[in-house]
A and B are shown apart, each in its own frame.
Chain A
């Protein structure tokens, strides 16, 4: 459940493989980016947008049936069309859930994972329209509408994930610059120690300069997503404080500012990298649990409706 989509894993491990040789050539990075670009193309528009058209037709037919066929008591879940669409939607939800299993079975040869993802995305999107058509747009404060609300959470988080996946995946390679998170941290720690050493036995003015520019890394995914890992600083303050350093310590001051600048750069890279990878994943923390709750709420919906009929 925690695993990203297979493509993502593949790409990530590609990047990690490159990371093993920290000075991976820029050409490799570009090649990766191109491959990601083409991967993203095919998942939305796989095989001439096959799944887009299939689902668009499904929605169109259902909408036309809804508009032109007037059931005796108005549209609701209990009409012939209501039952048909309800049945289809239930089947679709089960199929959409099956994607969670399918994406793990790497040995399947009958379908490609990308095709399955394309079908998953478009079928999922079509549910946002099919289900209200099933219900005749009857909403209320009840478990039936709860199922719809949960489904919309799943769909919206899915849209967010799919968009992130399309826009961010190609950036993964760029941020890390051939560095694994712990390798980046190693470098940052080395720099921190050097900064400590530089500060040792220097005046309080020197310490003030450091305090204004340096920062402590407080690890956390959310901090990275909020871009709060590397705090802001005032360039003019740093310049002033550098001036205030005793002349004997001036050279050390310039050296330390250089070290901190380097530390900031590495931390920013780490921050962007973690941010990108997290945005590709965090939506799953809504998408997956809510979809499981959705299956149960649909089951309750069906039990209640049919038992009380």
Chain B
């Protein structure tokens, strides 16, 4: 039996090298042992691995109980009759079988090993153990990263106009809808924000026209902003210094004060420096101003200048009496607290105006006649009060002279007309009662208790004179001030963790109406500090003072904003 072994070696450069040898024996043994007919080197081969034998034209392969076995077309076999085209596997070696008559050939292909560790030159082999030869070149990595950075960070955003990656920070909440569209504000490549861009949406009249650059945004409520006539501007508090202010503003543009990309709540600059650079020497800049110079919070002038504030209300009020315990109330003794009369407005910033109906009526009765225990005069102008009294007494008199119950019953044939003198008598009797009650109310009891009352100029024309009856008294309008420091932004709600007395002082000792219990600056300084100070609230000018007048967005501009946002959404 002649076995031809055909070996194809594929070199690393791709060239092929063919070699063949012939083994001519009756039985051919494959194995690791040096006595084998075909010596296989490798740790997977047994000493005697397999045997090839021939019986006529039949070739048999036998596994000699080898370590890694013998396989035909991938299946392990113990003994197998070979035929052409089959692949025999001995360990890692795979032979392709070709049979022609009495000769057989085994062909196999190997590629030249890349890293045959044992055979190669150690110096060459050692190369693989040096860091620089095992990793990609640092130069390649560097250039790749640089190109990636420049492409991703500069070129792509520039070409694609997807430039959010350039945005250095979040926009304010109001600008959030236009955040993705940089060109809404940055008109052009690498363009800073121009005032023109701001004016696409914002009516800047409060900046353009000094007249509306007022001192404080008094009444800047959402209610105001929602009014249909928002185009109207508050112009009644114009002050002479606004022109000076505007001249300063003209040197700047919008973004010098309103810096974007600093988070959702930071568009309005609250630097004290923006205020005090004028207000520190305001008298020099605008000599006609009535305002005092302000250098800093620490040197903030007193709230009412040098004056002691007095309450100008024309009404009698004694806080001391009202705050005494166990007052006589409608349903027994009551002890009042501040909030029984001073109640927060719905926006929780200021106090509701005092109202007699809500705050006084339950204790202070306007009753006038013991015979009419449930009747009170209306809390109305004196004439109305007198007319009410007259009507009440007329009714009372009629009821008492009831013809059915009374003695002067009409006789048959007698005239139905009340004699004129009897009518006059009735009128004068009613008037007498009414005037007495009026005198009592206006000079001693209910009205007199609170109101400043003076005699009326008319002589008190009665019904008998044929005219509408008029009161003999006149009430001076009470004019109770509702807001005191009208230029300040304030919120009682923000101060609800302190007692009323801690700011308003010893109201419980006050006996005069004119005592104004307004907070003093020193009291504010207990908690508020101009700059960061341990345990105090850092407070800048804008905490209490508005900068511009209420920003009134015109109806046309509102529409512009709506169009802009819907345009962006549609583009998405």
Give residues in A with beta carbon < 8 Å to B: 1-2, 68, 70-74, 76-78, 138, 140-144, 146, 150, 180-183, 185-186, 189, 192-193, 196, 199-204, 207-208, 210-211, 214, 216-222, 224, 270, 274, 277-278, 281-282, 284-285, 288-290, 292-293, 296-297, 300, 303-305, 307-309
Contacts and interface: CB of A to CB of B under 8 A. Distances in A.
User: 4 nearest interchain CB pairs?
Assistant: A72-B271, A219-B128, A307-B190, A182-B126
Interface of B: 32-35, 43, 46-47, 66-67, 115, 117-118, 122-123, 125-126, 128-132, 134-135, 137-139, 141-142, 144-146, 148-150, 153-154, 157, 164-170, 186, 190-192, 259, 262-263, 266, 269-271, 273-274, 531-532, 538
A1 B139 CA distance: 8
Contacts of A270: 129
Contacts, number: 169
Contacts of B191: 307-308
B138 to A, nearest CB: 5
B135 A142 contact: no
Contacts of A290: 145
Nearest to B167: A142
A222 B150 contact: no
Given A72-B273, A186-B122, A214-B43, 7 more contacts: A1-B138, A78-B259, A138-B262, A220-B128, A282-B131, A289-B141, A289-B142
Contacts of A2: 132, 137-138
Chain B's interface: helix, strand, loop or mixed, by majority? loop
Nearest to B189: A307
Contact of A308 (B131, B153, B186): B186
A5 to B, nearest CB: 14
A207 B168 contact: no
A221 B130 contact: yes
28 contacts: A68-B532, A70-B531, A73-B259, A74-B262, A76-B262, A77-B168, A140-B168, A140-B170, A143-B154, A201-B35, A202-B47, A207-B67, A218-B115, A220-B129, A221-B129, A270-B129, A278-B131, A282-B135, A288-B138, A293-B148, A296-B149, A296-B150, A296-B153, A303-B154, A303-B190, A308-B166, A308-B186, A308-B192
Given A204-B46, A308-B191, A185 B164 contact: no
A235 B126 CA distance: 29
A221 B43 contact: no
Contacts of B132: 2, 281
Contacts of A224: 129
B190 A73 contact: no
Contacts of A210: 43
A186 B137 CA distance: 28
Interface centre among A181, A214, A284, A305 (most CB of B within 10 A): A181
A304 B182 CA distance: 13
A216 to B, nearest CB: 6
Contacts of B137: 2
A281 B122 contact: no
Given A141-B165, A285-B141, A290-B145, A200 B190 contact: no
B142 A292 contact: yes
Contacts of A71: 271
B146 A73 contact: no
Contact of A292 (B135, B146, B269): B146
Given A70-B531, A182-B125, A296-B146, A281 B131 contact: yes
B125 A293 contact: no
A277 B131 contact: yes
Contacts of A309: 192
Contacts of A201: 32-35, 47
Nearest to A278: B131
A248 to B, nearest CB: 13
Contacts of B274: 72
A1 to B, nearest CB: 5
Contact of B125 (A185, A202, A221): A185
Contacts of A181: 126, 129-130
Contacts of A221: 128-131, 134-135
Contacts of B129: 181, 219-221, 224, 270, 274
A186 B34 CA distance: 26
Nearest to B269: A72
Contact of A204 (B47, B128, B153, B170): B47
Contacts of B115: 218-219
Contact of A193 (B118, B123, B192, B259): B118
